[in-house]
Amino acid sequence: MSFTGSEDHSISLSEASKLTKNYRDHAEANAKKGGFFGKATLSRILDQDGCVGIRFYYGAESDGTPVMVLIGVDSEENDMTDGEVAERSLPCPPYCGNESDLNS
């Protein structure tokens, strides 16, 4: 299989709410619910020549705090390891904004 960048990953808000609630129901108290990546960071990844999407990897800080590592992916399903790589999201909490179906 090769990637086109047009793969459909859509789900309903109801489905997304169930997934995030499942996580929150099993997470430790004060666990990270998610993280924010700014548009500029995502654009730097997506604007690389040959990039058709973003792959994320689950990772952890040395203290065990979970993180997401983002990297561009080409149409042959390869990580673009010579390009932009991102982490250091702004964690939720505390950067959660208003309560929503996904974070409360």
> Pairing mode, if any, of strands 66-74 and 85-86?
antiparallel
pTM attached to this predicted model: 0.82
* pLDDT of the residue at 3: 92
* pLDDT of the residue at 65: 80
* pLDDT of the residue at 76: 95
Provide the token pair at 58. Answer: 């689950």
* pLDDT values of the chain reduced to their tens digit, one per residue, 104 residues: 799 888 888 888 898 899 889 988 898 888 888 888 899 999 999 999 999 999 999 888 898 888 889 999 999 999 999 999 998 888 788 888 898 888 88
The C-alpha angle 68, 69, 71, rounded to 5 degrees, equals 140
Per domain, the residue ranges of the chain are 34-92
Q: How far apart are CA 32 and CA 40, in angstroms?
A: 23
